[in-house]
Amino acid sequence: MITARNVLTPEALAMMDVIARTGSFAAAARELGKVPSALTYNVRQLEDALDVLLFDRRSRQAKLTAAGEELLNEGRRLLEQVDAVANRVKRVGTGWETQLTVAVDGALSRVTVFEICEAFYALKADSADPGRSGPGTRLRLRTEILAGTWEALVSGQADLAIGVGTDQLPPAGIQMQPLGVMPFVFAVAPHHPLAAATQPITDAELMRHRAIAVADSAQRLAPLTFNLLPGQDVLTVSTMPAKVEALLRCMGCGFIPEPMVREHLAAGHLVAKAVQRPPLNASLGYAWRGEPIGKASRKPQQGLALRWWLNQLESAATRKALLERHSGRLPLGGC
């Protein structure tokens, strides 16, 4: 029994495309190297299986019906998807991952992360998919906070985590390299009551004022909190830029990565104040699953896309930019 699934083959869909493009069965037959009667028979099979008319028999030309138009449009889309699947399989065979997920802590430079992505997409097309710019690996970026960056990696939701804390040993199977130290400052708006303090601010004084905190994005690991006092009023936001905005609006006070607010401090939009508690400097790293960098392996654990990202992170300039380059601006414009 002939069913729609049996006759809706890539060859049949390609045949429909040629008939519609050339405008006649005879012209399509010449292009495909077949006799017109063979194309007529194949179209009849399609029509019988779908129980519709694909071509208007009253026309001397190969004029599609509404059903034929729909099949042609969907068929072209399906053929593109078939080609895309074949190309992705070829890329996997050459070592490029189909998708690479990178979890980035929200304290790092967004501009630098996107510049790394631009460089990745600028790689020359490989032989598996000529004409496509880049290796074809789909990038997926995740913004995480504190323990959420670790969790994304250890739970398998990310292949690479940038900005993890280095104060703990990585789990088995996880490799880690240092990224650098992120200095923090205690900042308030210039019209905040603490802006007038002349002495290092005590915890007792901090207790009287609302703190701005960014929520840890971890769902399963124990969430981390820093420099929040028991019983202190807290405004919790979900991102670092939101915390900066809340500080600028004098909605509270808090510790913030110094590079992230460097311009605001220089312009007087925020004021850095001394506190009695020890300064907070976060040691950050980047981590991934698999073999250490440079280790020879008969069967490498990293795909080529992950290796490329790890090579970028070996650059001291890249690591410094991720920590400090918050003042850059992405250019506006079309593709």
Spell out the domain ranges in the chain: 4-93, 98-329
Same CATH topology for 4-93 and 98-329?
no
Out of 2.160.10.10, 3.10.20.740, 3.10.20.30, 3.40.190.290, select the CATH number for domain 98-329. 3.40.190.290
Would you say 49 and 4 are in contact if contact means Cβ atoms under 8 Å apart? Answer: yes
Q: What are the backbone angles phi and psi of residue 305, rounded to the nearest 5°?
A: -65, -45
Cα(140)–Cα(158) distance, integer angstroms: 9
**What is the arithmetic mean of pLDDT over 256-274?**
94
Residues 6+ apart with CB under 8 A from 265: 185, 187, 258, 271, 272
Q: Is the dihedral of CA 193, 194, 197, 202 positive or negative?
A: positive
Strand spans (E) along the chain: 99-105, 138-144, 160-165, 174-188, 211-214, 234-237, 254-257, 271-273, 281-289
For the domain bounded by 4-93, which CATH number is listed?
1.10.10.10
For 45-84, write each residue's pLDDT tens digit: 888 888 899 988 777 788 889 998 999 888 888 887 776 6
Return the DSSP state at 103. Answer: E
For 207-244, write each residue's pLDDT tens digit: 999 999 998 887 766 666 677 788 889 999 999 999 99
Residues 6+ apart with CB under 8 A from 296: none
Using a cut of 0.85, tell me whether the model's pTM lies above it.
no
Q: What are the backbone angles phi and psi of residue 213, rounded to the nearest 5°?
A: -130, 150
